[in-house]
Amino acid sequence: MTPTGKIIYGLASSLKTVRSLSLYGCQQKCFCSSQSTNLKEVLDELVPREQKRVAEFKKQYSDTVIGNVTVDMIYGGMRGIKGMVYETSVLDAQEGIRFRGKTIEDCQKELPKAKGGEQPLPEGLFWLLVTSKVPTQQQVEWLTREWNNRAHIPQHVVTMLNNFPNQLHPMSQFSAAITVLNLESKFAKAYSDNVHKSKYWEYIYEDSMDLIAKLPTVAAIIYRNLYRDGTAVGAIDSKKDWSWNFSSMLGYDNKQFTELLRLYLTIHSDHEGGNVSAHASHLVGSALSDPYLSFAAAMNGLAGPLHGLANQEVLIWITKLIEKIGENPTDDQVKQYILDTLKAGVVVPGFGHAVLRKTDPRYTCQRDFALKHLPNDSMFKIVSQLYKIVPPILLEGGKVKNPWPNVDAHSGVLLQHHGMKEMNYYTVLFGVSRALGVLAQMIWSRALGFPLERPKSMSTDGLMQLVKKQPAQQTQAKAA
């Protein structure tokens, strides 16, 4: 163990060892190839194998160091600290997100699609996140039917939504409805009945499936109440996929919008475990709160302007740009507007990321969609200009580690083009999508017996005292 000028914690002796034993590296060996169309049956086979593999890994490497923590990391939002296990996705600074080892491009190519569609079905992504296997068309169809059968909303939840004041933000309504749905929790009931902890994951699975199935209807009721005079969402079509039903309940019958929704719900689903919404659900879930309460916590985090509201801020900024320099500005006009923005001490929204150090692949796939379906849209043209002009300006400033566009720089523009202009609602769409990732992880968190999350905190005085005890070269290393 190194001197305590840096706080050190451990799990694996080397990065090579971690990679060789990771789920990403071993999933093909360790996970079954079951062709059952019942996801629960597949999990019944997967869970014991993964429990054994993780137990053996922990036993062999439990005291091994994997990194160190600096004072700057502690004050800097814990960025860069490897402090949790999150199985469903991994974010690489250079290549972006991988869902169980699959890039977004891989998912677009390999995941099943709706008949006549080009974008992956979110059902397929959920199956991938839970099992690490690309599902068959039959497995995805089973999942669609299962969610359609579980989509009923209790009347007391509908009544509550219908009685909310129109001034209440859509995310506040969404979070409240999810919380109240926990009256339906099978896990909460099983826990009160003293179910054995080895069975926790089975009830978390049931709750997660129920919740994912109900979210589009809840979200659509909110949309209709706020923006469509409270008109009815209609019934679930048992023969249609999750995204199609969501699009229909929102009131959109445009096939291209449904395809966009399939893409949107897929790419926003997961972004490893350290972001606010994923970490919030992971933390609250570790207290054995049921998936409804845990996911509601995630949504309260997503509602923050530094997380899920970012695409809204991008649109507001672009709207102000158009008001100032017009719908068809020259590159020079756009450049000057950006410089004026930065001079005023305001960041250019939609650019940069806490982890990524390249263009966000989620941005790229949305750009590809726009190039194919709306190349002449005036707002898309401005987004394209920003893509070309902003990064060099930020690089010249020398203060930005990542000047490239992220997912939020594009998603709002696509929704606007297809007629969904209610920016306050966009984060609800994000929330419906994020359920796929965080609930898939919650199933595995309980299956692997992850304990209550309880990191050690320190006061500033305590940190100062700790640093003073270190050798001079340790505390002066950064200055040198």
307 catalytic? Reply is yes
Domain that holds residue 428: 91-453
Least confident range of 151-160, 321-330, 400-409: 400-409
Examine residue 97 and state whether it is found in any structural domain, yes or no.
Answer: yes
Choose, from 408, 410, 417, 418, the residue flagged as catalytic.
Answer: 408
Please name the helix (run of DSSP H) or strand (run of DSSP E) that holds residue 58, with its range, or none.
helix 39-61
Active site residue 279: no
Radius of gyration of the chain (CA): 23
pLDDT recorded at residue 476: 53
Which pLDDT band holds residue 298 (cuts at 50, 70, 90)?
very high
Active-site hit among 307, 410, 417, 418: 307
Report the mean per-residue pLDDT for the chain. Answer: 90
The residue among 456, 458, 453 whose CA lies nearest residue 85 is: 453
418 in active site: no
Buried b (16+ CB within 10 A) or exposed e, 428-467: bbbbbbbbbbbbbbbbbbbbbebeeeeeeeeeeeeeeeee
Could you give the C-alpha distances from 309 to 267, 278, 315, 393, 432, in angstroms and in order? 16, 15, 10, 24, 14
Does some domain include residue 147?
yes
Overall domain count for the chain: 1
Distance CA 111, CA 104 (A): 10
Q: What is the pLDDT of residues 141-196, one digit of tens each?
A: 999 999 999 999 999 999 999 999 999 999 999 999 999 999 999 999 999 999 99
5-14, 88-97, 213-222: segment of lowest average pLDDT: 5-14
Domain-located, residue 122: yes
Q: What pLDDT shows up at residue 266? A: 97
On whether residue 471 sits in a domain, the answer given is: no
Nearest to 122 by CA among 440, 442, 474, 348: 440
> What is the predicted pLDDT for the residue at 65?
94
In the predicted model, what is the mean pLDDT of residues 30-54?
87
Rounded to an integer, the average pLDDT of 124-153 is 98
Q: Is residue 25 part of a domain?
A: no
Segment among 275-284, 393-402, 405-414 with least mean pLDDT: 393-402
13 part of a folded domain:
no
- DSSP letters spanning 307-354: TTTHHHHHHHHHHHHHHHH-SS--HHHHHHHHHHHHHTT---TTB--S
Spacing of C-alpha 225 from chain mean position: 26
The pLDDT of residue 333 is above 60: yes
pLDDT band at residue 254 under the 50/70/90 scheme: very high
Q: What's the pLDDT score for residue 3?
A: 38
Tell me, what CATH number does 285's domain have? 1.10.580.10
Q: What is the pLDDT of residue 477?
A: 52
Structure confidence at residue 26 as a pLDDT band (50, 70, 90): very low
* Catalytic residue, candidates 271, 353, 410, 417: 353
Residue 418 lies in a domain: yes
Instruction: State the pLDDT confidence band at 356, using cuts at 50, 70 and 90.
Output: low
91-119 pLDDT, tens digit per residue, is 887 788 999 999 999 999 999 999 999 99
Percentage of the chain surpassing pLDDT 90?
A: 79
Q: Could you tell me the pLDDT band of residue 354, with boundaries at 50, 70 and 90?
A: low
Reported as a pLDDT band with limits 50, 70 and 90, residue 357 is low
Q: What is the pLDDT of residue 469?
A: 87
Confidence (pTM): 0.90
Choose among 427, 435, 438: nearest CA to 223: 427
pLDDT band at 472, cuts 50/70/90?
low
CA 161 to chain centre: 25
Is residue 44 a part of any domain in this protein? no
